[in-house]
Structure formats: structure tokens, C-alpha cells
Amino acid sequence: MTNPASRTVSEISPVIDAFIAASAIAFGLYVSAPSRAALIRTTLARSTRREVRTRWHARLRERWPQVRAGLRRGIAVALSVAAILPFTGKAADKPVLVVGDQAYNAQSLFEASDALRDAPYTVAWKQFPAGTPVIEAVNAGALDIGLQGDGPVLFLAAQGAPVKVIGIYRDSPDSVVLLAGAHTQIKSVEDLRGKTVALTRGGWSQQLVQAALASKGLPLDSVKYSYLASVDSAAALQAGKVDATATWEPYVTRLRQAGARTVVTARGLIAAQSYLSTTQKVIDAKRELLGDFVQRYQRAREWSLADPRHIERYADVWAAKSRVDPKLAHQWFSTSRIRYEPLTDAAIAEAQKSVDDFVKTGTLTRSFDVRGLFDTSFNKFTQAVR
């Protein structure tokens, strides 16, 4: 095939040359014959390229189904490689344990005590504002293990959720308190008649209020209930929107600083247990990792109680993460003195009593045997610490 650009200018120049010359004269320009020849050659070359592109586009349209299929295969391969690459460099990395925490409490403890040093896994901390979303995330498979109060776990287990308790920790009962606002004259449980009490549904807050009323022979409807999250309950009391609230640290210390008065503590009224919770699926897949974590948690708690300076260190770490006054943190941790406990028959019996009390008060519609909720095989990990 002859390239059009290779044609001699003399073959086409009479028409084209005359056109270029006339056009130049029309604009008041003079274009010499050599320049007109160069312009013709450039024009022919451009025309040739356009013809080549036109023929290429035509062939591409004819073969587009095959080309498109090839592109799709190439993209699929590229995406597969992209998906694999982030993990190829991590093949030898440690396994990950995803832990649900509340307001940096456990994370601060582990960092202060250096309890995760040399752990055969990496902990991915996830922070939550309260216990209910923690256990819900555990049940949904978003967490491997969660730390939360007993109420949310018992409520979820009552609905048949496959959650499991593999460890218990407990605040001092003096750190769970029913408080009256500074704007009230409430000094005793009896003074609560007709008053509005803010509490968190299904948690220690509700347990304490109802247990306090029952201890004085008062019906549960002798007070008005305002169901709020713990942070909102504290704010409502300070604002004078409610008369009393049942809460725990660090809200207790904050409210007392604002003038709230203690009506009664949890001592002798409720168990105030907290759980390390997981699911059977995670136990089957990560039993040794869970056991090691529980063991390290027990060590960290024992470390925190062994020396007042450890409590201060723990409080300082938490205060820095939470951006609060370290004095508040020191007061909280000194009062709560959280300790780890093994899964004993007595602890399980306390959980059963909590469930039965919830049924009596109508908070739960039916009772259930809590023994299946507790996996006591994890005691072997914590006994090894002693």
C-alpha cells in the first residue's frame, strides 16, 4: 500500500497549491512556493495519521467484545493482586484480638502496667461509651471479647444470644451510688417517694434503685423513672432536671464535686459484677488467645492494687486519654479498686439472683438458668497466675 505522504507534490500541487496561494493573498499574505510545498507535505502526513486512526477505530469496534473481555480479566487480576498485597507482608505478623473497652478503662490499665508486653498477639482496642453496645458488638461478631457490666450481658443472654462469660471483675460497691441532687432535700431512700430518678435501663443503675426501694418496703412505682444513658443521667442531675440518679465512677466523683449527696451505695444491695464476654465461635477459634488475655487482665488488676503509686500511674494514663483532671481519675481509681475474680459458684449464683430480680421487677419477662452462660474452663488460665 502506497503511503499518501510519499506522493510527489507535483501530483496534487496544482489544485492545492493554487488554493493555498489564493487563500494567503486573500489575507494579505505571501507564501513562497517552497513553504507551500512544506505545508502540503505536513497536511498530507496529518491526513495519513487520521486515516490510520480511523482504520484502527474501525478494527477496535469490530473486536470490542474480545477486547472488553480481556480488559475485564486484566482488571480482575489487578484487583486480586491489590487485595492480596496488603497481607503478603503481614503473613508472619501476630494474630489480632479485637477488644471492646469502655472509655479507655482497660486500655489505660494495660498500658500503665505494660501487661501486654511479649503477648503472642496484637490487641486492637475499640472504645464504646457504655456496656450495652459492647456486648451487642460481641454478639454481632465485631469484637472477640468485650468488657462490660453484668446487666447488658444477662439481658442479651435471656434472648438466647450465644454469648459467654469467661471472666469477672468487680468494682468496690462503694463506687456504685444512688445520689440526690444538691437542689433537693432527699437524704434517704424513703425521701425518694414521688421524685424523678434517672437511671440506665438494665444496668447497675436500675438494679440499685429497685433494690434500694425493695429494701425499705417501697413499691417500685413509688418513684418516677427517667431512662437515660449514664452520661445524660449525670448531666440531668446537675441541671436539676431530675431529683436523683444511680450511677458509678467516674460520674459519682464528678457529681459529688457538684454538690450531689449519697443516698445509698451498692454495698449489701447488688453484686455490681462486670464480665469479660465473648461468643462460643470466638472461643472455638481463639481459646488460647482469650485465655492469655484474661490472665494478663488479672495480672494488670493485681498490679494496680499492689501499690498506691500504681493506681496513680493508671489514673494518669486514663486522664491523659480522656482529657480530664488527673485528680478526678485518682479519686475514681482509688475508690473503685476494681479487682478480677474467678468464675466461682458464688459469682454465678449472684448472676442468677440478678436475673431473678429482673423478672420480679418486670424488667425481664422470664428467667433462665445462667450456668450455661459461664465458661468456667477459663479459670485454668487465671489459676496459673497465682
Domains in the chain: boundaries: 96-171+272-381, 176-265
Task: Say what the pLDDT of residue 185 is.
Answer: 95
CATH number, domain 96-171+272-381, options 3.10.310.10, 3.40.109.10, 3.40.190.10, 3.40.50.150: 3.40.190.10
Give percent of the chain with pLDDT exceeding 90: 55
Name the E strands within the chain. 96-102, 122-128, 145-149, 163-170, 176-180, 196-199, 224-227, 244-248, 261-265, 273-279, 339-341
The confidence band for 19, taking pLDDT boundaries of 50, 70 and 90, is: very low
Most confident option among 4-8, 50-54, 239-243, 381-385: 239-243
**176-265 adopts what CATH topology?**
D-Maltodextrin-Binding Protein; domain 2 (3.40.190)
CA R_g for the chain: 37
Separation of alpha carbons 152 and 203, rounded Å: 7
Residue 186 φ/ψ, nearest 5 degrees: -70, 125
Residue 296 scores a pLDDT above 70: yes
Task: Say what the pLDDT of residue 43 is.
Answer: 55
What is the sign, positive or negative, of the torsion defined by CA atoms of 216, 218, 223, 227? positive
CATH fold match for the domains 96-171+272-381 and 176-265? yes
362 Rama class: left (phi>0) / alpha (psi -120 to 50) / beta:
left
Separation of alpha carbons 305 and 338, rounded Å: 8
For 173-230, what is each residue's pLDDT tens digit? 888 999 999 999 999 999 999 999 999 887 888 889 999 999 999 999 999 999 998 8
Mean pLDDT of the chain: 81
Helix 204-215 / helix 150-158 crossing angle, nearest 10 deg: 90
Give percent of the chain with pLDDT exceeding 70: 75
In contact, 347 and 273? CB cutoff 8 Å:
yes
The whole-model pTM stands at 0.71
